[in-house]
Structure 1
Amino acid sequence: MANSDKLANLVNNAPGFTRLGLAAYQWWNEALHGVAHNRGNTWGGTFNAATQFPQAITTGAAFDDELIEQIGAAIGAECRAWANNGRSHLDFWTPNINPFRDPRWGRGHETPGEDALRNRKYAEAYVRGMQGNASTHRVIATCKHFAAYDLEGAGSTTRFNFDAKVSTQDLAEYYLPPFQGCARDAKAGSVMCSYNAVNGVPACANAYLMDTVLRGHWNWTDNNQYVVTDCDAVYYIGNANGGHRYKSSYAQAVGAAFEAGSDNICWASGGTAPDPAAAFNQKQFSQATLDRMMVRQYQGLISAGYFDGPSGHYRSLGASNTNTDSAKALALKAAEAGMVLLRNEGNFLPVNLTGLASSVAMIGFWANKADEMLGGYSGDPPFKHDPLTAAKGMGIAVNYANGPIAQANGDTSAAMAAAQNADVILYFGGIDNSVEKESGDRTSISWPAGQLALIQRLAALGKPVVVVKLGTHVDDTPLLALPNVKAILWAGYPGQDGGTAVLNIITGATAPAGRLPMTMYPSAYVNQAPVTNMALRPSGTYPGRTYRWYDGAVFPFGFGLHYTNFSVLPGKFPSTFSIQDLLASCDETYLDLCPFAPLPITVANTGVRSSDYVALAFVSGSFGPAPAPRKTLATYRRFHNVTAGSNQTASLTWTLGNLGRVDANGNRVLYPGNYTVLFDEPTTASISFTLAGTEVTLDRWPQPS
């Protein structure tokens, strides 16, 4: 390969090497929750639809890693089928695993939630499913956005110029563990660096992140792994208006990105197209760096069987492997599994909607907004079942009326008329961040004034109202003051069969068992916590972030009601462990992966309906650096189909790393002390044990220079 050929192929829209017979290659392919519309995917013919699973925030609420791996495998199979038929290429920029730190973030719904462990396990399961277990990857997964990225725009501060000031402690404890699981443990083939800077250095030019941590500390060093920049991120490293102005020219920005560890530049449309040749000719990066990037990119394609010919692994996947009956059933199952019941006064739900004397009023713009229910980064599904469509298919008599999205003084006469003669009012509302301008985040997390006023008017009719919240977080405090709002169900972005899933939950065909994957904050929180403050721990008037530090949630992380009653009984568990004995019996390369004693529990369904149950186990204690978090999720497990009157016993698996605390230098340390395990949210059972001996550093964090 001549240098001119190599340099031309360092961008996402790579022209290939005509002289060597290598075709053009588009590195930009998307499949966040199904094959999506983007630069690399060509739709049409027998490839005019792809299964659209729920968004990650909804599947994150299922707390079911086996389900996530199945979704990843189904999406990976469809992606490979598209690639085999020339409709896409082999690497896909998914999943988004940044923790959902602030409720205003416009892309938070793309993530599994706010907890570092939950996002880490989600990343591992999704990547395992998508890439497959064979030596040849089904497709290449790309974990994004590395790192500390969760802001689109707040005034003059945008994702293109934001400098995230993050302590080493918070970086190692919260912002990076999902990427550790993705890169070190699941061995994703690719990572995408983010727009923002971290402590003064743009992420895509940050050698500490990409070289010291990612490739060094996490040993992500195989030549079949590459880093791609977020689209136009390198442009904003340079002297572009509205960017970081970290370098004085575009050529210097290109060189800084490549020398720091980026391997491929994505260019969308902002600013000027990247010119690696100009940067190379100005000696902004070396020959060794150029060759290293070529090796990483093309060995990545080798790992996915790009050069293996028609008899290669996964080459048999074709059009018959898209939109399969099993994938459709999985999409519905995932939507049902991720729905969270927040209120159920007097056990009003489930309700038989086909046995009512008069019609059901279905009110609100979300009731027939199938496209919005998909969320962002979507493709065309084989069908779109919003609640109105699903109700008609189920034979439910419906009187539908639209409702306001935001405006306070809109005409609601049709909605009130629809509700007058109904036995039950179903209101479908909430905020859809996926259709807002991507360059901006929300400034309010209150219910939109027009929607809230309508709900209040509907509740004043004296009829039972069920509020189905779609989209992302809003403060439900005003709804909790309305006695006729009998139930609140959060559905997030439930995908192609979301309407069916909602009605299956409401009617009791399926029992709800999802748990909130994020804190639902009061509306005043936005005035207490600046969106640019990345700190987790409270200080002064700053209230802190996430369930680990914030105490004042409307609905806390992990909350979720059921249609039945459950009790959790922990099994026999030793009262004391020796830290030194635990380490002596471990043969893991990484000490944080050393297994801890499995935690036996029995889940008993003492009610009258069968249901899944998500067991959450949090750890609390005053050991380690002060201040101690309120509690920390240490392990979880979803129990499937616990029938009424029966129980299931299983062991929750966890590691020493799940018990470790991170000190000010980012080291994960296992401390001696008294530990308490808290089950469920709110806590329904607990056990205590002691770790004796001397503290041990499980993961010694590399210090920034």
Structure 2
Amino acid sequence: MALFLCFMGTLRAQQYPYQNPDLSSEERSKDLISRLTIEEKATLMCDQSDAISRLGIKKFNWWSEALHGYANNNNVTVFPEPIGMAASFDDALLYQIYNAVSDEARAKYNQWIQSGNENKRFLSLSVWTPNVNIFRDPRWGRGQETYGEDPYLTSRMGIQVVKGLQGPEDAKYRKLLACAKHYAVHSGPEWSRHELNLNNVDPRELNETYLPAFKALVQDADVRQVMCAYQRLDDEPCCGNTRLLQRILRDDWGYKYMVVSDCGAITDFFTSHKVSSDAVHAASKAVLAGTDVECVWQNYPFMQLPEAVERGLIKEEDIDKSVMRLLVGRFDLGDFDPDSIVPWAQIPASVLNNKEHQQLALNMARETMTLLQNKNNVLPLSKNEKRIAIIGPNANDKPMLWGNYNGTPVRTISILDGIKTKISEKKIVYDKGCDLVEDKVTDSYFGQFSFDGKAGVKASFWNTPDWEGDIVATQQITDPIKMTTAGQHEFASGVKLEGFSALYETEFVPKVTEEIVFKGGATGYFELVVNGDTLAKYNNWRTLPARIPCQVEAGKNYKIQIRYAQKNDWQANIEFDFGKEVDVDYTNLISKLKGTDVVVFVGGLSGKLEGEEMPVNYPGFKGGDRTNIELPSVQRNCLKALKEAGKTVIFVNCSGSAIALSPETQSCDAILQAWYGGESGGQAVADVLFGDYNPAGKLPVTFYKNSDKLGDFEDYSMKGRTYRYTTDYLFPFGFGLSYTTFKIGDATLSKTTIGTDNSVQLTVPVTNSGQRDGIEIVQVYVRKVNDLEGPLKTLKGFKRVEVGKGKTVKAVIDLPSSSFEFYDWNSREMAVTSGEYEILYGTSSDVNDLKTMKLTIQ
């Protein structure tokens, strides 16, 4: 008996090779694959991968986000939106930020798992960040997620994002797995991304504009995931495109890790692109092309892979290649190993939004601030102003500062709050002034609602997502509805945070016959029913503004219902009000400002208007994109009214994209581009407005004069787009003012003639001739002489230089041989060829801000 027990103990202690942490991830993956059934392999290839208990494989989710903080989570640090961080030209600080983001992601994950929970979507160790697409057209709503319009800047910033997220390259385990997305040639429009076919992309533009950042992240940052995009490139969907996924990505660049699909991209093969007949063929096509993991909302085509093998459409060995890559990723994370031997599993919850991370958020928010205009040096403002007006739809809007793909911070400093730290609240006059887009305001009728003889709206809640089972709570709501589960807030006592549903019921008897509007939105399932007719219905992943008009008759009873359900993995939100719209009248506003000379108007856009595939159809907006880039007319009219009233107008523009500000240069004395500044954005704006921080941000995108010459949004030709192919702009790429003045001296080159594989060093004297210490960002551009079809210039180096007042500092910038690499039509590849090159250096991409010298390559 003792011998038998000893034998059983030895058997239990025995490890399969895949369970041995001393073996390489590749060895462990190979062993585990040999033990899996074809059905289990297919399961592992889904982004929501179920546990395989017989082999000790835990449930795993591939989809989490970390765009500028650990997204879709509470109590995390929310940094500025990437387009704003690109304005800092500070890739060193960017590394620190994403090192903090990965710490917080691990801490959140550790806290969740160690509390006995399963891995879930948005609480996992695979993060689909960064977005390194080129922001080629300012109308694209998702451009805010990128690092701008320049391939070099995007590459520099993207490399540091990946390194910060994944942890030290020599570590045994990855902290997280980062992802370069969306590969490739992807930057809108949102409304056609599931059907768009790009079949005329010039090879030169493909290699010089659309691919460099992906190549850099693969070869210089060792990124562990690449996400293939929705659209087709030369008739093939990107997730089924062997040219992209095999010849370029793996053969040319040497990428050996996994490819994930954008969500629903494989389903698009047969529902939108019509290149596959059904799910079985779509799954086969994608895997054969090189897509390893499929993301989808429901009904995975990849679960049809066993049938595809039976029908001879694909071999099991082909599937094994994909499973090998995804298992290596999970082993590299330590997903199969005890927490005790994975250092990242020890990161405590105390790192979440700690003082260090809060300071990082403030430091970067300050560095994003980009001063575009400052007539007569009206900025900085004096803290001794007798009275100051803070006006505008974004002045007191905290969620606006979060941008998109964000988490929920512990605290957010609005711009109004930030200004209150500089000047006594008694001296501040605040008024929203106008809406972001609508030229009307709503006179709320919510107080006229009643149900069952009680004022307001009756709310009933179920702890199921389909209004079934017992009602677990009821409420009588008398104020406009505004509910959220952010911060772990229940909709009502006893209602779950996930998987619940609600029914809001009320009645309304109008006093007059007129048109009213219902306004609101929801994250989740939302359906508005009036007297049995459905006026609106959708299931959305973010709360977006909706305007639903309804004609009502005096004395008639209207029964109103809202059916809401939290069904997916997004935090639940709902907002709802209704009433009569009246025209905006600035008379009262101007009267309120009597005795106030200085007005800070905080406007622009918000993540409620620009973003990913959004059902927003206000004039000028379509599906999350814009149809024009002018500032919404209601804001222009407000600014005009303020100026005509004789006010000194400071315009703080918050947006994730370029706005055509030509009229604003006339109606405003100063313009500060503030982007979406994150949790400390309001403090950073105030620090700049009142001179406690000297702005140094530079535009990572071109600000055009107007929408007239933007061209066809679906045309991916670079002709006339970005600073590299046009000189027709209002504010150029790389432009930004300071409260001091800088002079760029004559630079010196370490060599004036080099070989095709040599580097060169540029030394640029920078003198601060003003009265304040400041930071200048020296930019270096390259152009090949006599290259008539190439870019006018292209960024190849930059350096942030701190210069004290009256001082001169030398900026030393290395230009490796790749700085002179352009597409060579003879070899059909990127190459450094002999000839004469111009090196342009200065403070922006505008020719008037640059000096030029020549270099010969032999």
Superposition TM-score, scaled by structure 1 size: 0.89
The answer to whether structure 1 residue 533 and structure 2 residue 715 are counterparts is: yes
Residue 271 (structure 1) shift:
9.4
Task: Work out the CA distance in 1 between the residues paired with 2:95 and 2:287.
Answer: 33
Specify the alignment match of 1:690 in structure 2: 855
Specify the alignment match of 1:98 in structure 2: 133
Residues 177-199 of structure 1 deviation map (CA, whole Å, 9 limit, x = unaligned): 01011111111111111101111
Task: Work out the CA distance in 2 between the residues paired with 1:689 and 1:437.
Answer: 43
Specify the alignment match of 1:449 in structure 2: 633
The answer to whether structure 1 residue 84 and structure 2 residue 260 are counterparts is: no
- Equivalent position to 1:628, from 786, 790, 805: 790
In the alignment, is the contact (CA less than 8 A) between 2:57 and 2:336 conserved in 1? no
Cα distance 1:417–1:573, how it changes in 2: closer, same or farther (>3 A)? same
- SS of 1:85's equivalent in the other structure is helix
In the alignment, is the contact (CA less than 8 A) between 1:90 and 1:306 conserved in 2? no
The answer to whether structure 1 residue 647 and structure 2 residue 808 are counterparts is: yes
- SS of 2:669's equivalent in the other structure is strand
Moved over 6 A (4+): 270-273
- Equivalent position to 1:384, from 405, 408, 412: 412
- Equivalent position to 1:373, from 395, 401, 408: 401
* Stretch of structure 1 that moved more, 445-454 or 401-410: 401-410
- Equivalent position to 1:510, from 693, 705, 729: 693
Task: Work out the CA distance in 2 between the residues paired with 1:570 and 1:314.
Answer: 49
State how 1:161-560 maps to structure 2 within 5 Å: 161-165=195-199, 166-221=201-256, 225-238=257-270, 240=271, 243-268=272-297, 275-309=304-338, 310-352=340-382, 354-358=383-387, 360-397=388-425, 398-402=428-432, 403-408=434-439, 409-436=583-610, 438-439=612-613, 440=623, 441-471=625-655, 472-482=657-667, 485-525=668-708, 528-537=710-719, 544-560=720-736
The letter of the residue matching 1:300 is G
Specify the alignment match of 1:149 in structure 2: 186
Task: Work out the CA distance in 1 between the residues paired with 2:702 and 2:750.
Answer: 33
Matched residue count: 649
Residue 677 (structure 1) shift:
2.1
The letter of the residue matching 2:319 is L
* Stretch of structure 1 that moved more, 402-411 or 563-572: 402-411
Task: Work out the CA distance in 2 between the residues paired with 1:275 and 1:339.
Answer: 50
Q: Which runs of 5+ in 2 are unaligned?
A: 1-35, 114-122, 440-582, 614-622
Residues 291-336 of structure 1 deviation map (CA, whole Å, 9 limit, x = unaligned): 1111111111222222332232222212012111111101111111
Residue 388 (structure 1) shift:
1.3
Cα distance 1:679–1:11, how it changes in 2: closer, same or farther (>3 A)? same
Percent of aligned pairs sharing the same letter: 30
Residue 556 (structure 1) shift:
0.9
Task: Work out the CA distance in 2 between the residues paired with 1:181 and 1:562.
Answer: 32
- Equivalent position to 1:602, from 757, 761, 765: 765
Task: Work out the CA distance in 2 between the residues paired with 1:211 and 1:435.
Answer: 37
Residue 283 (structure 1) shift:
3.3
In the alignment, is the contact (CA less than 8 A) between 2:288 and 2:314 conserved in 1? yes
In the alignment, is the contact (CA less than 8 A) between 1:425 and 1:463 conserved in 2? yes
Residues 514-559 of structure 1 deviation map (CA, whole Å, 9 limit, x = unaligned): 000001112233x55100111113xxxxxx2110111211111111
In the alignment, is the contact (CA less than 8 A) between 1:232 and 1:270 conserved in 2? no
- SS of 1:228's equivalent in the other structure is strand
Task: Work out the CA distance in 1 between the residues paired with 2:405 and 2:303.
Answer: 24
Residues 153-183 of structure 1 deviation map (CA, whole Å, 9 limit, x = unaligned): 35xxx11011123121111110010101111
Task: Work out the CA distance in 1 between the residues paired with 2:759 and 2:645.
Answer: 56
Task: Work out the CA distance in 2 between the residues paired with 1:497 and 1:643.
Answer: 26
The letter of the residue matching 2:789 is P
Specify the alignment match of 1:696 in structure 2: none
The letter of the residue matching 2:70 is V
* Stretch of structure 1 that moved more, 417-426 or 662-671: 662-671
Cα distance 1:437–1:545, how it changes in 2: closer, same or farther (>3 A)? closer
Superposition TM-score, scaled by structure 2 size: 0.73
Task: Work out the CA distance in 2 between the residues paired with 1:226 and 1:14.
Answer: 15
Task: Work out the CA distance in 1 between the residues paired with 2:646 and 2:377.
Answer: 17
Residues 216-265 of structure 1 deviation map (CA, whole Å, 9 limit, x = unaligned): 111112xxx21110000000012x1xx11111112111111111010000
In the alignment, is the contact (CA less than 8 A) between 2:778 and 2:811 conserved in 1? no
Residue 684 (structure 1) shift:
4.0
In the alignment, is the contact (CA less than 8 A) between 2:653 and 2:675 conserved in 1? yes
Specify the alignment match of 1:663 in structure 2: 824
In the alignment, is the contact (CA less than 8 A) between 2:94 and 2:157 conserved in 1? yes
In the alignment, is the contact (CA less than 8 A) between 2:750 and 2:762 conserved in 1? no
The letter of the residue matching 2:792 is R
- SS of 2:365's equivalent in the other structure is helix
Specify the alignment match of 1:701 in structure 2: none
Residue 692 (structure 1) shift:
4.0
In the alignment, is the contact (CA less than 8 A) between 1:8 and 1:277 conserved in 2? no
- SS of 2:284's equivalent in the other structure is helix
Specify the alignment match of 1:612 in structure 2: 775
Residue 575 (structure 1) shift:
5.7
Residue 621 (structure 1) shift:
4.0
Cα distance 1:85–1:670, how it changes in 2: closer, same or farther (>3 A)? farther
Task: Work out the CA distance in 2 between the residues paired with 1:437 and 1:275.
Answer: 33
In the alignment, is the contact (CA less than 8 A) between 2:136 and 2:149 conserved in 1? yes
Cα distance 1:30–1:613, how it changes in 2: closer, same or farther (>3 A)? same
- SS of 2:679's equivalent in the other structure is coil
The structure whose residues are more often strand, as a share, is: 2
Task: Work out the CA distance in 2 between the residues paired with 1:617 and 1:513.
Answer: 17
Cα distance 1:577–1:274, how it changes in 2: closer, same or farther (>3 A)? same
In the alignment, is the contact (CA less than 8 A) between 1:90 and 1:139 conserved in 2? yes
Task: Work out the CA distance in 2 between the residues paired with 1:498 and 1:528.
Answer: 30
The letter of the residue matching 2:738 is H
Q: Which runs of 5+ in 1 are unaligned?
A: 38-42, 538-543, 584-594, 694-705
In the alignment, is the contact (CA less than 8 A) between 1:657 and 1:670 conserved in 2? no
In the alignment, is the contact (CA less than 8 A) between 1:152 and 1:438 conserved in 2? no
Specify the alignment match of 2:576 in structure 1: none
The letter of the residue matching 2:601 is Y
Larger Cα Rg: Structure 1 or Structure 2? 2
Cα distance 1:569–1:370, how it changes in 2: closer, same or farther (>3 A)? same
In the alignment, is the contact (CA less than 8 A) between 2:597 and 2:646 conserved in 1? no
- SS of 1:452's equivalent in the other structure is helix
Specify the alignment match of 1:51 in structure 2: 77
Residue 437 (structure 1) shift:
6.6
